[in-house]
A and B are shown apart, each in its own frame.
Chain A
Amino acid sequence: MKFDIEMLLKSDARIVASTFVGISLLFIIVAMILGLDFNGTVNTIQRIMFLSAVYAMVVLALNLQWGYAGMFNIGVAGFMLSGVYTMAIITGDPNGIIPGLGLPIPIGIIGGVLVASLLGLLISIPTLKLKADYLAIVTIGFAEIIRYAANALTFKTFSIAGVEMGTGAGRGIHLPMNPIRNLYYTDPSNLGLGKTVFGQYVFGFFEIIQVQSSVVVSWTYAIVLIFVVGLFYLIIYRIGNSPFGRVLKAIREDEIVANALGKNTDIYKMKVFAIGCGLMGLAGILWQGSYGYTNPTTFQPILTFYIFIALIIGGSGSNTGSIIGGVVFASLLFEGPNFIRRVIMHVFKFDKAPNSIIEAIIPISSFDLGPFVAYSLANISSLRVVFLGLVLVYIIQNRPEGLLGYRKELAASIDISRRPGAEVKRGKRHE
């Protein structure tokens, strides 16, 4: 009987695939209600997939640290920022308003990942001897310090050894053109100059089904990101489902035992923290990189909070759960409220929403709920946080292990739930 990891993987692939399909269908329906054309629908789904992939990546990285090793990193946003900004500075135009080093994108990405990972390593060291709570304090402190630094005028431009560079402070910083465009355009910075042969064919095909070229480009990027999610999964799956992962789990459960059983737990924690932070940096780069621009406001502590909610929803400790959590969070909880608003506004043909809560409440006295509903909907992004709080409370009370956390994902490179000898015997009896 070959009923082990492969089976699990197959069923997991099915879970992930059906989540993607289900979410897509849902948004196709939403787009239909909104009366979007085909191009609009395709574009909507692209946005959902893109954000889902970004979340899935970061959640997977956090799962390695928190789900496996119990390392309470609440500075996720800070490590993402470190990666993005390093990349921006490395690739920036030396003659730009905010000068950079002018190096190629791959070097920028590698540099960003390394810096995020190195910062993770440095931060983990002083807290190794302390309880998990201290790591939390140090990481949130770090994330805020680095965000303030990125925001500070002092670092708008600065020079190291005579080389000019900068963060752009509150205005933010440019990121290099998304290289995906090179696939389609001869000059990505000036789209009018013409398309590549590949671009002509692909755009030509999609024109027939009324999909605009810009949507094709962004879909291409989303597909690349989905592949990267697969890569993240593979890396973390291999780390987690191994003797190394066993030690991580043991550290989470009881570090003293892991130590008493001969494992140098400090080294494991440092490694895992560095890898996790590096992956967070990479996810940040791939996320912000698509916008061509980033600023410090993107990396507020609430971002870390979102990642944690996504992980809790999916099931801390489960890699498949991490992906599901990321997708569900990004599509339903993060983007969902906006679409609910749009659908309701569209279906009930609400007029413009009132500008203040007063204007919204007064009509209630004359039994006109419309303005109040419209006002609430217009402010749905603020309500999102309330909504998230409720979801979190519900999950913690009713399903603390998350969607997939109930499963035994055994930390081993082989299936250790079976008994090898017994299998052979059973086999022989059949012969």
Chain B
Amino acid sequence: MSSSGAKKKQKGGKNSAKKYPLKVEKIGKRFGGLSAVDGVSFSVEEGSITGLIGPNGAGKSTTFDLITGITNPDTGVIKFNGEDITGKKPYQIANIGLVRTFQITRELKDMTVMENVMLAPKNQIGQQLSNVLLSKLRRKVKDQEEELLEKAWETLDTFHLDKLANEYAGNLSGGQRKLLEMARVMMMDPSMILLDEPMAGVNPTLKKQIITLIKKLSKNGYTFLLVEHDMDVVMNHCDPIIVMHNGEVMLEGTPSEISTNERVIDAYLGGS
């Protein structure tokens, strides 16, 4: 991957104070009578791969929706890099470097994979009408498009989508759509990425490659919050892990703390 938006800082050394770009404080969301998210608080450390697990319907995806402004929380405060982003619009949140992928993939079906990926970058001068209408200014737009195109190809390479660049996104397989979701947000030069089951349906080889990529990016200072049901992935690569249950945070801890906790085993991991 070429230039990254994340501060290329090594993971906090022993003496440097830990930083928490994302802080969620007592957020809640009700759908009718159902409390989907109920007073959830946690912080995510810079450069970490924090796991977010819990049974189906625990409220993980809803938490993502609340953080990224897709839905507004009824209660609570969300802060990103110290800024209160509660109630902000999704585009505002994305543009300050906090992006997410969707569990149920939302590829733009009648656009090619390349168009999907080229849509994402921030600050495209060609998104300004005067720049695309006036002949004099179009040169600059084209130059930037060339740069973005190069970056887009690299990103597609990374996610093994290069051969599908000119395919309509609607023709991709389930796993490929997951990859496209990730490729797209990576084009935004984010500093923090929320991944909602990014590896569900992705084949084992590619899954390993994605994990390797995530780890590499996290070393470079990218921060991840990862929802995943594959316990091998979570236990081996996420630290810390947050467990949600019935809309609440049940426990937060290291993989060993989580995997040995009886309440977690009862509610989610299953006694084995």
Contacts and interface: CB of A to CB of B under 8 A. Distances in A.
Nearest to A268: B127
A233 to B, nearest CB: 13
B165 A250 contact: no
Nearest to A265: B91
Interface stretch (B115-123, B231-239, B254-262): B115-123
B90 A256 contact: yes
Given A243-B124, A243-B145, A261-B188, A249 B110 contact: yes
B34 interface: no
Interface in A40-87: none
A202 interface: no
A411 B115 CA distance: 7
Contacts of A414: 142, 145-146, 149
Interface stretch (A96-104, A216-224, A365-373, A415-423): A415-423
Interface stretch (B24-32, B42-50, B93-101, B214-222): B93-101
Contacts of A260: 68, 70, 90-91, 94, 99-100, 102
A259 B91 contact: yes
Interface string B139-172: 0011001100110110000000000011010000
Nearest to B105: A257
A270 B83 CA distance: 29
Interface stretch (B7-15, B74-82, B128-136, B244-252): B128-136
B91 A410 contact: no
For the residues of A in contact with B, the DSSP-based class is helix
Given A244-B127, A249-B108, A414-B149, A261 B120 contact: yes
Nearest to A247: B127
A257 B108 contact: yes
Interface in A375-430: 408, 410-414, 416-417, 419-421
B166 to A, nearest CB: 5
B145 A416 contact: yes
Contact of A247 (B114, B119, B152): B119
Q: Which of A238, A239, A408 has the most CB of B within 10 A?
A: A238
A411 to B, nearest CB: 6
Contacts of A12: none
A238 B126 CA distance: 10
Interface string A251-269: 0111011111111110000
B145 A412 contact: yes
B188 to A, nearest CB: 6
B132 A408 contact: no
A176 to B, nearest CB: 29
Contacts of B165: 417, 419
Contacts of B19: none
A253 B109 CA distance: 7
B150 A421 contact: yes
A342 interface: no
Given A262-B91, A262-B95, A263-B127, A246 B146 contact: no
Contacts of A258: 119
A271 interface: yes
Nearest to B150: A420
B18 interface: no
Contacts of A235: 133
7 contacts: A239-B132, A244-B126, A244-B129, A250-B119, A260-B99, A260-B102, A261-B91
Interface of A: 235, 238-239, 242-247, 249-250, 252-254, 256-265, 271, 317, 408, 410-414, 416-417, 419-421
Interface of B: 68, 70, 89-91, 94-95, 99-100, 102, 106, 108-112, 114-115, 118-120, 122, 124-129, 132-133, 138, 141-142, 145-146, 149-150, 152-153, 165-166, 168, 184-185, 188
Given A242-B126, A420-B150, 11 more contacts: A243-B126, A245-B132, A246-B115, A249-B110, A253-B109, A256-B90, A259-B94, A261-B188, A262-B91, A414-B149, A417-B166
